Amino acid sequence: MRITSQMLKKVHQLSIKYSNFPESYVKRAMEQVYWRTPNEPNYQQKVIERRKFRFTMNRPWTGQFRQQNMPRTHRKKVFVEPIAEWSFFRGDRVEVLVGRDKGKHGIVKQLIPERNWVVVEGLNCHLRKVGGDGEYPGIYIKSEAPLLVTNQVKLVDPSDLQATEIEWRYTEEGDKVRVSTRTGRIVPIPKEQEETHDYKSKGTYIEKAKDTPAKVVEEITFKPSLQTFEMEIMKEMGIQEDRIPKKSYWFLNVLPARLASHDSTRVTIAFFAVSGLDVLDSLDLLTPSQRQNIINWIYSYQVIPKGGTKCGGLQGSSTLSIKSQDPAHIAAVEAYYWGHLAMTYTGIAVLLALGDDLSRLDRRAIVEGVAAVQREDGSFSASVEGNEQDMRFVYCAAAICSMLNDWGTVDRHRMAQYIRESI
C-alpha cells in the first residue's frame, strides 16, 4: 500500500521522455499548491500541496489531466502493482490474454506506465457515446481500452511469434537487452520507442525557427574556473581591485532583525561569529575589553544546579531566565532551569577561542548534566526533558567532555555502539 501511494505521486520517466518537455515543466504543469511559506530566510520552507493524483489516459501535462484532478475531488482508490523494471515499449508486438480479442496479436501504440497500462492498436476496443444532448442522439466512437501489462498482455517472441516471458540481461558488449525465457532469443526494442509528442524519430526531426541549432548547442562557450561571477567580469573588463575590505564583527554587537527567531540561541550565533573571526585569523580585531565582555556574557548563562538535580550546563539566551521577586515565581522558573547540550558546547568553544582558562565553569555539574541526558541506546537528548535526539548531540556531548578532559559517568561504550549502529 505504501509503495502504491508513492507510485501515485510521480510521473514515470517514459512519460516524461515521450512528452519531450523538461521534467520541471511536467511537474509544474500538474502541481496544485494550496499554501506555501514566504520565500524569506526567516521561514522554513513548507508547502501544502496535492500529493496523490489519479493517472488516466490523459497525460499529466495536459488540461484534461488537471480537470480530472481538480482540487477537492475525491475518486475511488486505485491500486497499482509495483513493477521492478518496465519491459514494454511503443511498437512492441504483444498478445492479448483476456477479453474477446484473447489470442490476437497487436502493436503497442501508447504507454501509461503510471497505471501499468498499454494500449494495443485495434484491440480491446469499446464504443463510447459523444455529444448526446436533447434530441441529438450523439455519435459513437470506437477506441481502444488499456490493458494491464501484469496479466492481460504478453510480449511476442519474434523467432516463432508466440507469447513469452522476458528477462533483462546484458550482452558481451555490455548492452542491456530483453531476452525470451523460452527460446533465449533477444526481443529488440522497436524504433518507435524514439517517438515523442513532437517527432516520430530523432533522425527525421526538422528544426523549427525557435529551435536552437545543434552546432550552437555543441559549441563550448563556458570554461569552468574557481573565480566568482564578479571576479570573471572584472577580469574581462580589466578592472583591478585595489581597495582593502574592512573586516567586521557585527553579529557580536547586534542581533540582526532577520535572526530574531533565533533569540533563544544567541550563544550559537556568537559561536559562529567568533569562529569566523578565528578562521580568518582576525581575532585581534576584538579589543581586550570586548573579549572580556563576551567571556562574562557566556558565563552569565551558566546553570548552577540546586537541590542535587543534575542539570548543569549553559543556556542559550537570557530570555530563558525570568527575573522575579516572588519566591513562588522563582521556584516555578527554577524547575525548568537546565543547561542545553548544544549551547554548552558552543559556549565552551567560544571561551576557549577567546583564551579563557574555564576556571569559572562548574566542571563537575556540566559533566553530570551531560551524563544525565544520555539515553539507554547511547544517544543524547538536548536537555533534561528534551525531545530532540540525533547525532548532533552525540557530537556535542563528546566535544564537551573532551574540552573539559572529564568524562564522568558518561557511558562511552554505549555512545560508540550507537554511532556504529547509525552507519
pLDDT of 207 reads 84
Q: What is the dihedral of CA 384, 386, 390, 391, to 10 degrees?
A: -40
pLDDT of 325 reads 62
pLDDT of 118 reads 96
The answer to whether residues 29 and 61 touch, using CB atoms and an 8 Å cutoff, is yes
Among the four given CATH numbers 3.30.70.100, 1.10.3260.10, 2.60.40.10, 2.30.30.30, the one describing domain 1-202 = 2.30.30.30
How many of the other CB atoms lie within 10 Å of CB of 1? 6
Helix ranges (H only) for 125-200 are none
Q: Which residues pair with 112 in a beta bridge?
A: 117
Mean pLDDT by 10 residues, the chain (423 residues): 60 90 90 90 88 90 90 84 92 94 95 94 90 82 93 94 94 94 93 87 84 89 85 90 70 70 84 91 89 92 80 77 61 70 93 94 91 90 78 93 92 92 86
- Helix (H) and strand (E) counts in the chain: 13, 15
- Cell 573532551 belongs to 402
Q: Which fold has domain 257-422?
A: Glycosyltransferase (1.50.10)
Backbone φ, ψ for residue 324 (5° rounding): -160, 155
**Residue ranges of the domains in the chain?**
1-202, 257-422
